[in-house]
Each structure stands twice: as structure tokens, then as C-alpha cells.
Structure 1
């Protein structure tokens, strides 16, 4: 700093972090401390702080923030889930119908197989019956009887009666067949009870010789029965042998359907990622058209509609930005003239009433000029303007020293103790971005603290190295921001006090700039009353 700066005061360390007090102790009495190691107040334009604000919702060109009002997941039905239901549900229904049909077919084939075996057994048994002079003789070996009764769970029962209903041999518990059948024609029927049975009845003509030498004719009934459990077991075996391969086929088809749906919807996922990338890409210069070369025609039509919407949004944003920028530029000159004229009028009048009115006009002109400057700063921080400036290394140590030195006179005039704490040494603290915009952001934070902390307050600009880069804090022990505004403190046109001089744009500008530079900003807790804004910026690699 020049001789005037050196005569303004002295430098003294502020305790704490091994850093040194490289800034300016601005107190109401004793003047201002001398800038450490010859800091020079820069000629950068003053950035007016506008009232407190908060975490605003996502804007075009900015990523959606945590806790924002935008939900990335719709509440409507999932197309993939609907397609899976539409394709898999009919398959499952058809599989159930096929399984039931297979079971019925298996039961029928089992019945046919058992009926054939019962009929064969009945005919074999009938061949063992021979008429004699004294009656009928059944020649059934004991070994054959043992074979028929070998399985207690699946016994084969038989009965021979002549005439029908008069038991000659076998089981007496076998029920008679319903109705009257034709001779030599088998009749199959089921009998219920504790153990259901499948029975065949075969009525055969019988000729036997009487004692007087005459021949007598009649009917002989042969019945053979078997438990229905064997039929059900056979049906289940057939069903399992059929259903298991069918189930495997359905599972493979379901996997194929799922994979096909995912592959078919992949262009939609790519389109979603491209659209989301338009807002997630920090510093995007414009909402570029989306191109999906390998996508189906239907997705190309959707991408074309999205591109038309993006083009309209881009045009609207550009028009809005040009309007704000042009209006702000047009207003600067008449506002500067109004300020000059009111200052001259105040110097040339002694009328108290007129002076009061002129002072009010002058204050209004100052507020309007501050609003215009901040609108211009906001226009510079917009995505298109920010992307137009290539990122460059910015030395935060130099930037903060110059900025704090610039703010010494204003802090003195407000009765505020302003200081800078930085890491020890003279190493450069580099980040990539726009030095002009970063200076604007920090100036807004300092202006916010000096303006609202009040006379006698202490404002500290603190620079430390964090885990994710550089951590910059602007800390004051003033009245702080009301708890109700903590969630809205970075919103546009939100002020911490209705009686404040700001317009509610300062912190919105800060957030816009910081996020354009790849950083983040928020309110941090501090011991006691006051306010602490914490800003993080990525370190240059």
C-alpha cells in the first residue's frame, strides 16, 4: 500500500490457526492498522451486498441441489414395469392353464394305463376260473395272491362271483358296479370311501355241467380293484416331468423379455442422461441439442421434441439475459447523473427541509445504482456469460488481501473491525475459475457482513485448506440471520430485514458465482450470535 495506507494504522496478528493477521484491524478508535506486507487497494468496482438470502431452487443450467424442490423421479407408473407386467403376466397365466391342462391330461393317461392293467388282470383272473361238476374252481396260485397283496399302499383286490352278487372267491367289500352292463364288456367305475378305488367289472357267460349230465348257463362276474392313490401318484409324476421343463422355459423366456425390455428402453435412459447432463454440466454455455444416433425412430421423435423445447428455453434465457444486461447498462448513466446532481445540490443548499428531501433522493439513487450493479453481476454469473470466460488460475491469497484492503475505509466508516486470517507463508492458494466473479462473490459476503453486523462488530475473512479444496469463511459477531430465513437465505429478493438497504440479490449472486466455479456455499454454525458463511472452492491441480 502507498504512504497513505501505511499511515492509516498498523498490522497485528489475530490469534488462532498459526496463520497471521494479514488484514486490517478497523476500529472506531485508533484508526486502521497498516496493511501487512504492503497490500495495495485495488481499483475494482465496489460490489454492493444485497440482503440475506438462501438455498434457492434449481435454475436453468444449474444442477438440482439436495433438498431442492425438484424431484428427479416421477410419481407415474414405470414403463419398464408395465411392459414386464403386460408380457410376463399373460405368460404366467398361460403357464398355469398349461399346467392344469397337463395335469388333466396326465390324470386321463393315468386312468387309461390303470384301466388297461385292471382289465388285463380281470381277464387273466377269469381264465383261472374253470367249471367243474361240483361248481366253479379258481386256480389262483398262492404266489400270485402274494404278488397282488405285496404293496399295502397299492393293493390289487379282486372278487369272483357267480351268479353276480354271490361271492365265490376274493374280497367281499368290493362294491357292485352301477346299472346293468353288457356281457363280456368291461365296466370301469370309482368307489369312494376312506380309500378310493378304481374298479373294473367284467361279466362273462358261464357254462357248467350239472350232476345229471345237463348243462346250465349263467353269468360270472370278475372284479379287480386298485387304489386311486397310484393313479394320483402317476399323474403327479407326469405333471412334474412336464411342468419342470415348462417352468424352466418360462423363466428363461422371462429373462429374455426383461433383457429385451431393458435393451429397448436403453435409448430412453440415454435420452434422460443427456437431458439431465444439460443442467448437471457446470458451466454449460448453452442448452445443446441432443443427438441419439443409434436410437429407434420413436426415440428420435422424442429427442426432436426435446430439442425444440431446449431451443425455445435457450432463446428465452438469452433474451431475458440480454434484457437485464441492456437495461442495467442503460440505467447506469442516468443514475450516476442523478447521484452527482443530488450531491451537488446537497453541497449548495442550507435549507434543512430541502436537504432532508435531497438526502432521501440520494439514498434512493444509491440503492438503485447498487441494484443495477448487482443485476450486471448476476448477468455475468449466468451460465452463458460464465462459460464464455475460460477458467484460469486464481490466487485466493492475493485476491483476499486486495479485497480486504479495499474494504478498510468502508468498514472504518461503519465502525466495524475487519480482519483477514490466512495460512502462514506466501505460497499461492490457487483455484480455477474467474477472478472477477470470485472477487464479486467475496465482496458481496464482506459487504453483507459490514452492512448488517453493526457498529462495534468484528468481521473476519478466514482462509483455510479443507479436505475438498479451499475453505473461505466470512464471519461476524453481529445479530445474525433469523432462524426462519436460514432455509431461504440465498433466494433472490429475500432480505434478512425489511428495513435493510439491500435488494435481496447479493447472496443469490454469491451462490450463482460459486456454483459456476464448481464450489459450494452455505451457512455454518458459530459459537454465540452472528453469522458465518462458508464457501468451498476446488484447489487447482
Structure 2
């Protein structure tokens, strides 16, 4: 299956795109700052020039306004062609004292003295940044000096561009350096994943040993730990299947060999009675083989690896136990036993596999009938304890010694070699109970006998 996206590409995009956005935002902010600084510097220069020009005007003794403005000062103010400074000095009322350019009349009306008025002036030569300042000539307030200065916007733009380059070039270099560092960092960060990929590619399918990564970040260790858990579960499942196959082959070999021997002897019999006896033994051996195969199939279905595929439905334990007890009564009567059911619960619903739960309780009842003497008593009891249902199968037989109780749940273990059992009944009971989140315990009856106690939660996991 082809991957939908690359983790490396995703990391690069998520790290570089925000950097690019921040760089563009920084560039825009730098442009605003550069324009503001250029405007402030231009306005300050215009105001200083206007103040300097105003100081060159004085009133003579005859009351006339005179301008002391030598040619050298005019040449100094003229500046370069791209950054030419225009000025106009006039009196109100009166006329123009000095001027070196054309000014429009868009300036606002005369404000209070010495309050600068900045505005944009458009002339045939281009757009200018202009300043108009009024200064009082005498104390009466009837005569005013007006100083107007203007500078072409081209100079201000050049200053703004210089500031922008001064700020933008280091930012661009920083973006490039950060992008390279991010790329190198992502490659180094993903290097342990590439190492794990090589280990997986070179690992043989039969090798289920855990992975060992000593020099790896925490996230890769977590991934490795999850893989090791999966390998451990798989190894246990494979080992369980191998053990099951070996046990099944060993257990089936004996009855099949006996069945073959009995058929060979039956073929040699010459009397009807001898042939009938041999056929009865063949039937008994075939019946035992069928029982063993059925038990093996049930045990295989109750394995943890197959339980995930088994359907789970609502199962009423009370009805199931009552029905199974009623079905087993004829067999108990034939064996000379008293089988009863004791439950006060009308309904005991859990979620589970109905076929496996039925097999669990069938094994318990059949074991009790099979292994206690004639004249015995078997009671199936259902109660509720907190958040669990408890099913107890109690008999008054000889019981099981404490040292053998834990071995009863081993596969193919039989305390007595008589009878037709195969030693799988209690192993099946334990597997099915655990698959439903429950447990099985063996307890001594109050007087004598055995109690098999099965605990099942109301809400199995």
C-alpha cells in the first residue's frame, strides 16, 4: 500500500511555511517601519530648514522686511537634482521675499504661530512633501512671515528603500539559515526511524526476538516498545499453536493406533461372538477418538488468538444453566445420581459467545457426573456477587487434593487413567472463562466433595 504522504515533507511544510509567513510579516513590518522613519526624518529635515530660513528674515529700521540670504546658502539648500529642496518665503500681507520653485495653494489656512502644517504638494516636477509654517513679524499680530519648504518624494522613497534593504537582507539571510537548520534537524530527527526501518527490512520472518535500540529518542523507543509487545504476543501465539499441534498429535496417536489394532484383530476373527466383541471395542475406541477431536476443536476455538473473530451476543446464564441441567438429568439418572439446579435469578444476561459458554458448563456437569460414585449428588448453583455472576457446580464425591488442584487445569492431565476422558475438560473451562474476563477456582465442599466456582463479570471486556 502506497503511503499517502511523507512525514519528512509534512514536517518541512509545517516548519518552513510558518517561517515564510513570519518572514513576509516581518518584511511588511520592516517596510512600514522604514517608511515611518523616512517620513519622520524628512519632516524633521523640512522643519529644521524652515526654522533656519525664518531666522534669516529681519525687520530693518525703516520697518521694511529684509531677507539676509547669501548665494552660498542658496546653493547649499539646492542639493542634488533628485533631492532638490524648494522653498518660498513670503509676508502676510505683503509679497514673496524669496522662492526657488512652484508651490500650489493647497496648504491649510493660517493657524496659530509656529504650528507646522505638513501636506502633499503636486507640481509638474512631481509629488512633494511640503511644510508651511507661520511666524509673527511684530508684536501686533498684523504681520506674518510664511515659510514654505518642500522636498521631492523620490528622496524619501530612496531613504525608505535603503532602510528596508538594511533590515530585509539580514532577515532573508536568517530565513535561509533557519531553513537549512530545519532541514538538517529533521533529517537527524528521522534518522532513528530509518535505522528501525533497516532493522525491520533485514529481519527474518522467523525471528521474533525483541528489537533493541540504545541510541534513539523517546518517541522511537515507544514505537519499538509497541513492536516488541506485538512480537511477544505473536511469539506466544505461535508457541501456543505449536504446543497445541504437538499435544494433539501425541494424544491422537494412541486412540488411532488402538483403533487400527482392533480392526486388524477383528479381521482375523472367525467366530461371530469374537467379531462382535472386537467391533464393540472398535466402537468404543472410535467414540473416544471423536470425543477427543471435539475437545481439541473446542480448545482451539477458545484460544485467545481466535476469540477476536468469535461473535458475541447477549446470553442469559440463568436460562442456559436451567436448560443444560434439564438436558443432563437423564444421563445423571442413568449413572445413579441426583442432579439439581439452584438459582433465584430469573435472568442473568452477559455479553459473550453462547457456544463457548455452553461448552464451559457442559464440561463442568459432565465431569461431575463422570468422576463421582453412584448415588452421589450434583448441584448447579447461580448467584450474583456485586458486578459478577458466580456459577458453582458442587458434588459430594471424593474431591481433589490441594496439591493436584492447580494441575487439573493443565492440558491432557488426568488424575485417574480409567474412563474415557482425555484430560482437556478443565483446560477448556479455564480458557473459556478467561476469554470472557472471568476465572475458575476449585474449592472443597463443606462436608466432602468438590466445588468448581466460575466467576463471570456482568460486562466482560
Task: Answer with 1 or 2: which has the greater Rg.
Answer: 2
Higher relative contact order (CA 8 A, sep 6+): 1
* Structure (1/2) with the larger helix percentage: 2
TM-score (norm 1): 0.39
